Amino acid sequence: MPSGRSAPGRRSPSKGEREIFSVGAPDVSRAVRARPGLRSGRLSTAAVLASLALMTGSALGAGRAVAPEDVVKRYVGAVYARDYGAAYDLISLEDRRLKTKEEYVRERGAFSGAALEMARDLASLIRYRGLRAVIEGDRATLTGTAIFPNASDPAVESLALEFDETRLSALSQGERKAIRQRLEEMARTGRLPVIVGENETWDLVREEGTWRVLLNWAGAVVVRFEGVTKAGLPWEFAPVQPALRIKPGETLHTSYRVKNLSNREISAKARHILDPPEKTGQLQILSCFCFIRQTLKAAESKELPVVVRVNATLPASIKEMKVRYEFYPLQKFPGGRGQ
């Protein structure tokens, strides 16, 4: 992907495994996974008109059930905009039994306020071509081409103020409206930079008469997190969420809470250990508090973020992994590398 992110605020996974993420995140249960064939370009006027016709033809109608394609469009738009609370409501009950809404939102990081409003504006410009649903009983598979605004393109990123909540909140309603109108004009005239996902596939299940997106969290690997203090470090240290269900190729966020139980300032450093060791190459720690020393004042508390990714080629035989973080006083860090 040329510019690094297809949606505001989130870096893209490798080609052929890209999740259609929200504006900043990282997306991902991979329910919306782009197949090989992603390409960037600009949205033609004909494509916009054709997609609008498609959306009108499949729009929600009074007195009839919501079609699979309508559910997918709402879900994709919500995930793209980092409106994860809304996205969760469109996920299958089968999946939701395994992950609460609070967990789902926390693992991904949601937008709010003016940033969410701007992200929704951009998500409204997502277009589709050739959507085709194959329904077999209470299961459905939807395939087609999805065209996403490329929010990492400088033309879009600068116009949307990099989806910075502080800067966007400082704008008047008129100024935000002007940005929205400018984005719509770019789409209408074929000048909106886009990412094209060809041969996209979404799975759905009909539950209680309603179509919902099926992510198959039951098939995800369970990554368990532990936290311990070593060498007499007087800190309280534990994961916020002891376990994550992560699908191969997916990137998720978690965190640890730490508190200095002493009456003095203390510096410490952590290391992580993957259990069993032979699975080390299957889990990537993309961002971690263990990379630098941490200093807490007396009785101070912090929440320390961690970003992890499971290898996209994870063998199906691996169902569970464990990450243990060990916090040491700085001067007692193993190998003397605490400095």
The alpha carbon torsion through 212, 26, 306, 218 (nearest 10 deg) reads: 30
What pLDDT shows up at residue 37? 37
Closest CA to 325 of 314, 335, 316, 333: 333
Give the model's pLDDT for residue 58: 37
Peptide bond before residue 277 is cis, with ω within 30 degrees of 0: no
Query: What is the pLDDT, as a whole number, of residue 125?
Result: 96
Whole-number Cα distances in Å, 289 to 267, 271, 316: 13, 9, 30
Cα separation of 40 and 42, whole Å?
A: 7
The per-residue pLDDT for 114 is 95
Q: Are 279 and 311 in contact (CB under 8 A)?
A: no
| Cα distances (Å, whole numbers) of residue 319 to 29, 246, 308 | 16, 10, 16
Closest among 253, 283, 282, 255 to 270, alpha carbons compared: 255
CA distance 23 to 119: 6
Contacts of 298 (CB under 8 A, 6+ apart): 260, 262, 263, 264, 265
pLDDT at 281: 82
pLDDT in tens, 273-297: 988 777 778 999 999 999 899 999 9
pLDDT digits (tens, 9 = 90+) for 47-106: 433 343 333 333 334 445 789 999 999 999 999 999 999 999 999 999 999 999 999 999
End-to-end Cα distance, the chain: 38
**Low-confidence residues of the chain, pLDDT below 70?**
1-64, 336-339
Please tell me the predicted confidence (pLDDT) of residue 81.
96
Question: What domains are defined for the chain?
Answer: 39-215 (3.10.450.100), 220-336 (2.60.370.10)
